[in-house]
């Protein structure tokens, strides 16, 4: 099986978020894909299969489970296809668990068109502040929790207690593991900054999270009165994104760079 590792939302070889991109001829079993994702041990591994329609089926796996939306691995998948198999295309369509997702070329950037997931204010559960070691200005919830803190320096200093953060699922009465905690603040060199923690899906801190920006984009658009914004995710690897609020959709664009191309031996 052809395999790539692409660093997404960066133009630096060891920056951004590395995603595995697998190109099997036909779908492996779900258990095989999960085993490959666990072996890769990246935040997400994407699997792509071309359909008769010309679209691609796309599925994403963390090291522990399949998820229904992933931004950086979609950008990475498009990067591979534009460079290897769809060189003349300017747009790609992916059929996914979150509906049809589109990626277009915009100069050196690739632009994701994703559903917006606005957040509503919710209780500031004690496990959030205890785990993060900060008192939030406010807490909101969509697919993920969004925690607003005072400024970029507060955000940088957070060192989560993941044992405590794992208690949030029971405290908030959540019956699944497909959620994380976005922490965000105004940026000093961009419009807003964030970090993303998702220990329930086997990803303590995700380097750069496209899905989180489906929530961050409408939130900060409302806060700042802007439709187009520059964002930075302040993980150790750092990632840069351009975000546009389009009402029920968001556009999230960024660059990517290849780290590896190889072959995965499939079980017989």
C-alpha dihedral sign at 217, 221, 223, 229: positive
C-alpha dihedral sign at 166, 160, 116, 50: negative
Burial 136-175 (b: 16+ CB within 10 A, else e): beebbbbbbbbbbbeebebbeebebeeebbebbbeeeeee
Q: In angstroms, what is the C-alpha Rg of the chain?
A: 18
Rounded distance between C-alpha atoms, residue 250 and residue 242, angstroms: 10
Question: What residues are labeled active site?
Answer: 44
3-state secondary structure of 91: strand
3-state secondary structure of 72: helix
3-state secondary structure of 4: strand
Q: Show the 3-state SS of 33-63.
A: HHHHHHHHCCCEEEEEEECCCCCEEEEEECC
């Amino acid at each position: 099986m052809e395999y790539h590792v692409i660093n997404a939302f960066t133009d630096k070889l060891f920056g951004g978020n590395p995603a595995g991109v697998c190109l099997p001829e036909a779908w492996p079993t779900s258990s095989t894909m999960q085993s490959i994702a666990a072996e890769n041990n990246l935040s997400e591994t994407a699997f792509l299969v071309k359909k008769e329609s010309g679209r691609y089926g796309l599925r994403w796996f963390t090291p522990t489970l399949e998820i229904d939306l992933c931004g950086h691995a979609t950008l990475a998948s498009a990067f591979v296809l534009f460079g290897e198999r769809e060189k003349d295309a300017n747009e790609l369509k992916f059929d996914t668990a979150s509906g049809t997702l589109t990626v277009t070329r915009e100069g050196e950037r690739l632009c994701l068109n994703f559903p917006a997931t606005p957040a509503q204010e919710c209780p500031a559960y004690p496990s959030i502040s205890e785990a993060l070691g900060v008192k939030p200005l406010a807490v909101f919830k969509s697919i993920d929790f969004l925690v607003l803190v005072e400024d970029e320096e507060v955000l940088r200093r957070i060192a989560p207690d993941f044992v405590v953060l794992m208690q949030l699922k029971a405290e908030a009465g959540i019956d699944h593991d497909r959620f994380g905690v976005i922490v965000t603040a105004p940026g000093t060199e961009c419009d807003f900054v964030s970090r993303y923690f998702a220990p329930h899906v086997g990803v303590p801190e995700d380097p750069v999270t496209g899905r989180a920006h489906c929530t961050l984009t409408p939130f900060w658009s409302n806060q700042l009165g802007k439709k187009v914004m520059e964002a930075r995710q302040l993980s150790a690897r750092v990632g840069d994104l351009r975000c546009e609020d389009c009402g029920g959709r968001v556009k999230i664009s960024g660059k990517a760079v290849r780290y590896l191309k190889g072959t995965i031996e499939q079980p017989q």
